[in-house]
Chain A
Amino acid sequence: MALKRETWGSRLGIIMAVAGSAVGLGNFLRFPAKAAANGGGAFMIPYLAALVLMGLPLMWIEWTLGRYGGGFGHGTAPGIFHRVWRKNRFIKYFGVIGIFGPLVIFIYYTYIASWTLGYSFFSLAGKFTRIFDQSGMQGFLSGYQGLKSNEYFQGLGYAYTFFLITFVLNIAVIYRGIKGGIEKMCRWAMPALFVCGIILFIRVITLGTPDPAQPAWNISNGFGFLWNPDFSRLKEAKVWLEAAGQIFFTLSVGIGMILTYASYLSKGDDVVLSGLTAASMNEVAEVILGGSIIIPAAFVFFGPVQMKSIVDSGTFNLGFVTMPLVLNHVPWAGLFSFIWFFLLFLAGVTSSVSLAQPALAFLQDEFDIGRKKAVTIFAAVTFVLCQPAVFFLRNGVVDELDFWGGTFLIVVFATIEVLLFVWVFGMENAWDEIHKGADMRIPSAYKFIIKYITPFFLLVILGAWFWQEWRPILSMAAVSAANRPYILATRLGLLFLFLFLAVLVKVSWQRKRRKGVQGI
């Protein structure tokens, strides 16, 4: 007998959970760096266009597909895709991406989120508050990550301890279920995250001109560094692709987790307003808070010349090197550093629990395994899978996992979703399904946008990535000879994991067929 599916306790609960999933480290680190490097304020034109033409439609599609699949007892893409295209025997295997992707991201994201917990602790302990130069803070990060043995760290002991704490915390939350675990945590974690963000926002805008010898290094010009537009950059295709990519990462669309979260809704629950609310909360966190903290704060201490190299130094350097250095210059450095890293930790952990949910839902829905047993299996498997990310970070394993699970496959998955929804399910059916129980109507122009513009946008992104990156990535052109065995092993491991999940889908369908489950 199939187990009774869980449900959300309240509307606020699912909105906070989806927003929590979407608001991640990228909102506070990736967005400001991308905006500053791609035309400043001008970047917001392609960014908002991608939000309206691709992000919001995908958000609504995933909420709707999830709720639709949940009505048939499916919380993951294989079952949902099969329900949408019953005549096609193979479509469920494309749905494997919706379990594989979040699982792969979970493997490395949990470890990265644990750094923020470690740094929160070290902020209060004052372990890096007396470091005032870039190379010292870089050394602290490298030592923590186990890339170097130095005066700060000798080995991975601290990093591994905080990884264990973060991993156990994730497991404890998902063990308590949708309502008692994820919803409960997100209902306090999301407001806490916004409070931390607002405190830092106020601290940054009141920085004024810290160095009187450099009057141009003021907070107004700090915002200008991010927002002054360079419209000439809009002629570059790269800027438009970066903006579209950022919308993808920030909204957590194309991963499969919104499908799963929405599958716990009831048939008459609204998805239009709830989806829009979760997306808009994410945008407040990204554009208003994320855009107002790290870049303006770094500008007033480092000035315009150094800012260029800081922006180009990558998101981890921005978050773990630049920001603590900035905060070390202000009174109560330890406290503000703690608020910064705790904000990132909350953003990370509300995302990582959502990444665990598709694999759990798959075990529960398709194999009738109880939640507690499913969580135990998930914990045992992912704990083993996390180890290469921890121990082989220096060899590029995390970057490799991020490319396949967190970059390439999400665009592929979103393209499949939108094509299925519009062209197989049918636009009229899709439109009716979206509006079931809806508290507001989507403007009818979106019929055209969802049918033509969103797929076009996705196919262009996919095409551009194939064009620019396929050959160098497959040939590992940018990988050093020493790291090639690790990258190759990671790829083989990922291929094995994907095939294993595909076999599980096949087995579960055969099992259901034997049991005479209808619609299989």
Chain B
Amino acid sequence: MRIDGWMLMALAWGIILSITLFCFKRIIAKKEFT
């Protein structure tokens, strides 16, 4: 894979994973998981 491919993959994965972690962190912090 070319370097620009790696960069785009890292960017897309990074954005998606950070939003997901942000959401779950807030929900867990509110103890509203169950």
Contact = CB atoms under 8 A, between A and B. Distances in A.
Partners in one complex: yes
Contact of A10 (B4, B8, B11, B34): B34
A287 B33 CA distance: 25
Given A12-B33, A48-B15, A229-B4, A41 B9 contact: yes
Contacts of A273: 23, 26-27
Query: Interface residue tally of chain B, by bracket?
Result: 20 to 34
Nearest to B29: A439
A223 B33 contact: no
Interface string A42-61: 10100010000000000000
A138 interface: no
Chain A binding surface, main DSSP class:
helix
A39 to B, nearest CB: 10
Contacts of A229: 4-5, 8
A288 B9 CA distance: 9
A227 B33 contact: no
A12 B20 CA distance: 14
B16 A288 contact: yes
B5 A276 contact: no
Interface residues of A, number: 27
B8 A223 contact: no
A223 B1 CA distance: 6
Nearest to A187: B34
Contacts of A288: 13, 16-17
Contact of B26 (A221, A287, A440): A440
Contacts of A480: none
A280 B26 contact: no
A41 B16 contact: no
B16 A439 contact: no
A40 interface: yes
A281 interface: yes
Contacts of B34: 10, 12
A193 B19 CA distance: 20
Nearest to A224: B1
A277 B24 contact: yes
B12 A44 contact: yes
For the complex of A and B, the 7 pairs showing the least CB-CB separation, nearest first, are A224-B1, A41-B8, A277-B23, A227-B5, A228-B5, A280-B20, A227-B9
Given A229-B4, A277-B23, A439-B26, 8 more contacts: A11-B32, A12-B32, A228-B4, A280-B19, A281-B20, A283-B19, A287-B12, A440-B26
